[in-house]
Amino acid sequence: MSGILYFVPTPVGNLEDMTFRAVNVLKEVDYILCEDTRTSGILLKHFEISKPLKSYHLHNEHQATEKVITDLKNGQNIAIITDAGTPGISDPGYLLAKAGADNNIEMICLPGATALIPALVVSGLPNNEFLFAGFLPQKKGRQTKLKQLAEEKKTIVLYESPHKINTTLEQIKEFFGEETKASLSREISKKFEETKRGTINELIEFSKSKTLKGEIVLIVNNSI
């Protein structure tokens, strides 16, 4: 009988966002896949979880997936976590989920921490329908993607790093227009959590006035 593959969200900041169920699942599986064994080792030690950790990240997921599927077919229960948030959402996990589906493996994703939903809720922008676009392409296809998103009437959710946020905001202004409404959230669930709302010009001014740190969630809407 095949084992179960668990996708387990981990806190994006505050360790109190870890659920009781997530801790119990991680304590019960045979081993845990993670992006960085050092980062996840700190988390597991905090919650007194002593299970083997195996690296599973963007650079080895193609090679590692086959072995994981074999272990699942042999009856092992396995969990996948990432450095923060829900596996598969702008983090490793999709290839494993696809392989699991292709091999009729039972898969369970626990509800839990993610950065996009808190940022969307507090943005004050329409959230009955939204498009999650994750990280924009670094170079090739970036302008094409921005043009495509600019035609979208739904609220758009983007992830961005601090050192690229100014460029991204300027590009959104260029492709979406100066009247675009936006919200920028950073350090979600951490001590210095902060959200700035306004027009795209106001966010550009805000971003250039200080050095932003932490991963950023950008919410934009040019249809209101």
Non-local CB neighbours of 84 within 8 Å, separated by 6+ positions = 10, 11, 12, 13, 113, 115
Domain span at 41: 5-109
Supply the pLDDT for residue 54. Answer: 97
Same domain assignment for residues 129 and 202: yes
Domain endpoint, select from 109, 140, 159: 109
153-191 pLDDT per residue, tens:
999 999 999 999 999 999 999 999 999 999 999 999 999
Domain endpoint, select from 94, 109, 124: 109
pLDDT band at 139 (very low <50, low <70, confident <90, very high): confident
Q: Is residue 89 predicted with pLDDT exceeding 90?
A: yes
Same domain assignment for residues 102 and 132: no
Q: Is residue 28 predicted with pLDDT exceeding 90?
A: yes
193-210 pLDDT per residue, tens:
999 999 999 999 999 999
Q: Following DSSP, what letter does each residue of 79-124 receive, concatenated?
A: EE--SSB-TTSSSTTHHHHHHHHHTT-EEEE-----SHHHHHHHT-
Based on the structure, what is the number of domains in the chain? Answer: 2
